[in-house]
């Protein structure tokens, strides 16, 4: 059973007798709940993102212009993180690359980007190689360092394979 207080923190559930026939927006006689949809307040990531975007747009009206243009919200987030000028330079570069590849200057830009997790794995492997080469650490000691620092349990065989010169 759902606790009415979690669904609406100020007024609880409506009494069944107050609802009229109809679904959704067709419930013309049902007044709006003055407490609002309190259960939506737990979406902090969205609220933080929206407030950050609004703050950025207030500080740089060019970001608001991108929003008004209809740019995808993911790209608006990228623009707010890296800055308007940097975003525009990146966008122009990607556009030029896409146009050269396809020969079509009207098509949308499409590109592939590896997963960030894969890059982190690459960095971890470089770190393991540097520990093995620079400090000449035993495999078991490298395994313990990685487990302690990265919270990853790697097999000794995996670490030995990384140690081999290529």
Distance CA 40, CA 42 (A): 5
pLDDT value, residue 45: 59
Question: How is 90-105 classified by DSSP, letter by letter?
Answer: HHHHHHHHHHHHHS-S
In a domain, 18, yes or no: no
Q: Which tens digit of pLDDT belongs to each residue from 58-116?
A: 578 999 999 999 999 999 999 999 999 999 999 999 998 888 877 777 778 887 889 99
What share of the chain in percent tops pLDDT 70?
A: 65
Distance CA 112, CA 115 (A): 9
DSSP assigned state of 19: P
Listed range (34-38, 51-55, 97-101, 162-166) with the worst mean pLDDT: 34-38
Higher pLDDT, 163 or 88: 88
Given a cut of 80, is residue 26 above it in pLDDT? no
pLDDT value, residue 23: 59
Distance CA 141, CA 147 (A): 10
pLDDT value, residue 164: 84
In a domain, 84, yes or no: yes
Angle 149-152-156 (CA atoms, 0-180°, nearest 5)?
Answer: 105
Higher pLDDT, 54 or 165: 165
In a domain, 76, yes or no: yes
Asked whether residue 76 falls in the same domain as residue 1, the answer is: yes
Asked whether residue 104 falls in the same domain as residue 157, the answer is: no
pLDDT value, residue 53: 55
pLDDT value, residue 9: 47
Higher pLDDT, 137 or 55: 137
Higher pLDDT, 77 or 2: 77
Asked whether residue 61 falls in the same domain as residue 104, the answer is: yes
- Domains identified in the chain, total number: 2
Q: Which domain holds residue 52?
A: 1-11+34-112
In a domain, 23, yes or no: no
Q: Which long-range CB contacts under 8 A does 125-130 form with residues at least 24 apart?
A: 125/162, 128/154, 128/159, 128/162, 128/163, 129/162, 129/163
Asked whether residue 103 falls in the same domain as residue 64, the answer is: yes
Asked whether residue 98 falls in the same domain as residue 156, the answer is: no
Q: Which residues of 113-148 are buried (b: 16+ CB within 10 A; e: fewer)?
A: eeeeeeeeeeebbebbbebbeeeebebeebbeebee
Asked whether residue 84 falls in the same domain as residue 123, the answer is: no
In a domain, 94, yes or no: yes
Asked whether residue 63 falls in the same domain as residue 136, the answer is: no
Q: Which tens digit of pLDDT belongs to each residue from 127-158?
A: 999 999 887 899 999 999 999 999 999 999 99
CB 35 within 8 A of CB 11: yes
Asked whether residue 72 falls in the same domain as residue 106, the answer is: yes
pTM above 0.85, yes or no: no
Given a cut of 60, is residue 18 above it in pLDDT? no
- Count Cβ atoms below 10 Å from residue 80 Cβ, excluding itself: 22
Asked whether residue 78 falls in the same domain as residue 127, the answer is: no
């Amino acid at each position: 059973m759902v606790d009415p207080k979690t669904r609406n923190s100020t007024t609880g559930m409506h009494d069944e007798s107050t609802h009229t026939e109809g679904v959704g927006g067709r419930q013309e006689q049902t007044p709006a709940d003055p407490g609002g949809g309190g259960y939506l307040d737990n979406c902090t990531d969205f609220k933080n993102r929206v407030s950050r975007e609004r703050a950025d747009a207030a500080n740089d009206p060019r970001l608001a212009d991108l929003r008004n243009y209809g740019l995808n919200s993911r790209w608006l987030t990228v623009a707010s993180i890296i800055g308007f000028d940097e975003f525009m330079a990146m966008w122009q570069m990607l556009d030029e690359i896409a146009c050269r590849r396809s020969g079509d200057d009207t098509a949308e830009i499409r590109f592939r980007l590896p997963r960030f997790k894969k890059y982190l794995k690459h960095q971890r492997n470089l770190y393991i190689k540097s520990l093995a080469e620079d400090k000449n650490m035993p495999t078991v000691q490298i395994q313990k360092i990685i487990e302690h620092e990265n919270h990853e349990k790697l097999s000794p065989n995996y670490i030995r394979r990384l140690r081999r010169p290529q």
